[in-house]
Amino acid sequence: MNAALERMMDFDLSEEQRLVRRAVREFAEAEILPHVDRYEREERYPTELIAKLPALGLLGPMIPEEYGGSFTDVLTYGVICEELARVDWVVASVVSVANSLLAGSLLKFGTEEQKRRFLPGIASGDIICSACLTEPRGGTDLGNMDTTAKKVDGGYLLNGTKVFISHAVHAKLFFIVASIDRSLKHKGVTAFVADPTQMKGLTIGGFPMRTLKRDNLAEVHFEDVFVPDEAVLGEPGRGFPILGSALDMGRFSVAARCVGQSQRAIDLAAPYAMERDAFGQKIGEFQLVQDKIADMVARTEQARLLVYRLGRMKDAGLERCSLESSLAKLKASQAATQNALDGMAVFGGYSVTAEYEIGRLLLEAKALEFGEGTSDLHQKMIAEFALGIRKQ
Ligand X SMILES: Cc1cc2nc3c(=O)[nH]c(=O)nc-3n(C[C@H](O)[C@H](O)[C@H](O)COP(=O)(O)OP(=O)(O)OC[C@H]3O[C@@H](n4cnc5c(N)ncnc54)[C@H](O)[C@@H]3O)c2cc1C
Q: How far apart are the first and last CA of the chain?
A: 34
Q: How far is the CB of 123 from ligand X (least distance, A)?
A: 20
How far apart (Å, rounded) are the C-alpha atoms in residues 184 and 204?
28
* 147 makes contact with ligand X (CB under 6 A): no
How many Å is the maximal CA-CA distance in the chain? 78
Q: Which member of 164, 240, 252, 308 binds ligand X (CB under 6 A)?
A: 164
Find the shortest distance in angstroms from Cβ 337 to ligand X. Answer: 13
DSSP state of 135: B
Judge whether 343 and 268 are in contact, CB under 8 Å. Answer: yes
| Position 345 contacts ligand X (CB under 6 A) | no
Shortest gap between Cβ of 300 and ligand X (angstroms)? 22
Strands 155-165 and 148-152: antiparallel
Torsion angles phi and psi, residue 369, rounded to 5:
-75, -20
Task: Give 370 or 385: the residue with its C-beta nearer to ligand X.
Answer: 370
**Segment contacting ligand X (CB under 6 A): 38-46, 79-87, 163-171, 335-343?**
163-171
* Sequence-distant (≥ 6) Cβ neighbours of residue 217 within 8 angstroms: 164, 165, 166, 168, 206, 207, 209
Is 370 an interacting residue with respect to ligand X (CB under 6 A)? yes
Mark the segment that binds ligand X (CB under 6 A) among 72-80, 267-275, 291-299, 369-377.
369-377
Is residue 300 part of the contact set for ligand X (CB under 6 A)? no
Q: What contacts 24+ positions apart, CB below 8 Å, involve 205-209? A: 207/163, 207/164, 207/165
- Is residue 220 part of the contact set for ligand X (CB under 6 A)? no
Cα 317 from chain centroid (whole Å): 21
Determine the angle formed by the axes of helices 287-315 and 322-347, rounding to 10 degrees.
160
Q: Give the binding range for ligand X (CB under 6 A) out of 31-39, 70-78, 125-133, 304-312.
A: 125-133
- Considering the complex, what minimum distance in angstroms separates the CB of residue 161 from ligand X? 11
Does 371 help bind ligand X (rule: CB under 6 A)?
A: yes
Q: Which range in 241-249, 257-265, 314-322, 366-374 contacts ligand X by CB under 6 A?
A: 366-374
Is 16 known to be catalytic? no
Provide the CB-side half-sphere exposure for 261 (13 A, CA).
38
Long-range pairs for 21-24: beta carbons < 8 A, 24 or more residues apart: 21/79, 21/82, 21/83, 23/56, 24/56, 24/58, 24/79, 24/80, 24/83, 24/84
Q: What single string gives the DSSP state of each residue in 202-234?
A: EEEEE---SS--TT--EEEEEEEEEEEGGGEES
Nearer to ligand X, 44 or 380 (CB): 380
Judged by CB under 6 A, the number of residues near ligand X is: 19
Q: Is 182 in the site for ligand X (CB under 6 A)?
A: no
| 367 contacts ligand X (rule: CB under 6 A) | yes
Catalytic residue among 40, 357, 364, 372: 372
Work out whether 196 is an interface residue with ligand X (CB under 6 A): no
309 scored as a contact of ligand X (CB under 6 A): no
Minimum CB distance to ligand X smaller for 159 or for 374: 374
**At its nearest, how many Å lie between ligand X and the CB of residue 390?**
12
Cα-Cα-Cα-Cα torsion 7, 13, 14, 18, nearest 10 degrees, comes to: -160
Establish if 166 lies at the interface with ligand X (CB under 6 A): yes
Q: Closest distance between ligand X and the C-beta of residue 316, in Å?
A: 28
Site string for ligand X, 126-145 (x = CB under 6 A): -----xxxx---xxx-----
Angle at 237 between CA 233 and CA 242, to 5 degrees: 50
Nearest residue (CB) to ligand X, 144 versus 350: 144
Give the whole-angstrom CA distance, residue 245 versus residue 268: 35
Q: Which residues sit at the interface with ligand X, rule CB under 6 A? A: 131-134, 138-140, 164-166, 212, 217, 367, 370-371, 374, 376-377, 380
Which of the residues are catalytic? Answer: 372
